[in-house]
Amino acid sequence: MKDIYTLGIESSCDETAVSIVKNGREVLSNVINTQIPIHTLYGGVVPELASRNHIDNISAVTKMAVKEANMELKDIDVIACTYGPGLVGALLVGLSYGKALSYALNKPLVGTNHIEGHIAANYITYKELEPPFLCVMMSGGNTQIVHVKSYTEFEVLGRTKDDAIGEAFDKVARVIGLGYPGGPKIDKMAQNGISNIELPKTHIDGLDFSFSGIKTAIINLHHKNPDVNKENLCASFEKAITEMLMEKVKMAIDKTNIKKIVLAGGVSANSYIRKEFEKLEEDGIKIYMPDLKLCTDNAAMIASAGYYNYLAGKVDDLSLNAIPNLKLD
């Protein structure tokens, strides 16, 4: 079969990213321009600033990605572009750019779901990985257990009823003064702490999650006792939230009898969570987790997911619009 080169474009939040991936799995270039230093000043992502910065950078990031792959734009076969979920203004920048490239180069446009992208990051890390499997998708905006039935068919078995897990990390970090983005900072702090603080764990029926209670408990605890040891607090938070996650993952394994678990999304970079999931291997469960640099937003994952959609015949026309609350199933 002829090789297929996909150019992926990602601009759903605060990363402007472009990547070229060969046959869905081999990364030829993966350029990411992060806006974190800009948003840090405000303690979180400012949507209007994100859109403006994507406009400023998308052209240069694309040129760099093409150059790093030692290619020319005319050699690209498919343009894969995130069209949701995400911030509407931010999404529209990457999507409009992708449409323009598709039109000018006369190459197919594949609108790509950002969450499918996070899952596909694993196809790049593990060349032999194929569906079906269960994916624990945990990012800044989403937390869900997904039955990945094929490269393009998904069933969400459980999801958060309130905060996403990454949102809980970021809000806790902000309240205890660690800054934005909080996940990596809590991860680092927790490594020097002991989990000696009892925190409430919310139990709800079925495979859904709720993380707002533990977040509020920490906020209250910190307000009442601002001198609480932050390292121990971070370690206790990570332990409690991981236990809540694990309980549902084990239920999903029992329910589906699928013993192949794939992690995805920014929070899957967390060192404590990775270690706890690795322990499941003792029970005969196979665990997959993306390379650290592919956990958070990037365009290689979008190119990979776009490639599999293209193979499945899912091609879009120029009327494709951004969908800020796009779902997986």
Ligand X SMILES: Nc1ncnc2c1ncn2[C@@H]1O[C@H](COP(=O)(O)OP(=O)(O)OP(=O)(O)O)[C@@H](O)[C@H]1O
List interacting residues with Mg ion (CB under 5 A).
139, 297
The nearest distance, CB 283 to Mg ion, in angstroms, is: 29
Residues 6+ away with beta carbon under 8 Å from 115 = 85, 137, 139, 142, 326, 328
Number of residues that bind ligand X (CB under 6 A): 25
Residue at 118: amino acid letter: H
Binding-site string for ligand X from residue 115 to residue 134, where x marks contact by CB under 6 A and - marks none: ---x----------------
Among Mg ion, ligand X, none, what binds residue 267 when CB lies within 5 to 8 Å by partner kind? Answer: ligand X
Residue 276 φ then ψ, to 5°: -65, -40
- Residue 181 in the binding site for ligand X (CB under 6 A): yes
- Residue 170 in the binding site for ligand X (CB under 6 A): yes
- Residue 142 in the binding site for ligand X (CB under 6 A): yes
CB 209, CB 263: distance < 8 Å: no
CA 159/CA 162 separation, integer angstroms? 9
Residue 33 token pair: 């321009």
**Contacts of ligand X in 61-90 (CB under 6 A):** 85-86
- Residue 182 in the binding site for ligand X (CB under 6 A): yes
Q: 8 or 141: whose CB is closer to ligand X? A: 141
Q: Which stretch binds ligand X (CB under 6 A): 16-24, 182-190, 219-227, 312-320?
A: 182-190
Residue 30 token pair: 């993966």
Q: 32 or 79: whose CB is closer to ligand X? A: 32
Among Mg ion, ligand X, none, what binds residue 182 when CB lies within 5 to 8 Å by partner kind? Answer: ligand X
Candidate residues 20, 233, 269, 299; the one interacting with ligand X per rule CB under 6 A = 269
The one-character DSSP state at 301 is: H
Q: 10 or 316: whose CB is closer to ligand X? A: 10
Residue 274 token pair: 């990775």
DSSP string, 84-114: ESS-HHHHHHHHHHHHHHHHHHT--EEEEEH
- Residue 35 in the binding site for ligand X (CB under 6 A): no
| β-sheet with 109-113: strand ranges across | 26-34, 15-22, 5-10, 78-84, 109-113
Residue at 253: amino acid letter: I
Which residues contact ligand X (rule: CB under 6 A)? Answer: 12-13, 85-86, 114, 118, 139-142, 166, 169-170, 181-184, 187, 265-267, 269-270, 296-297
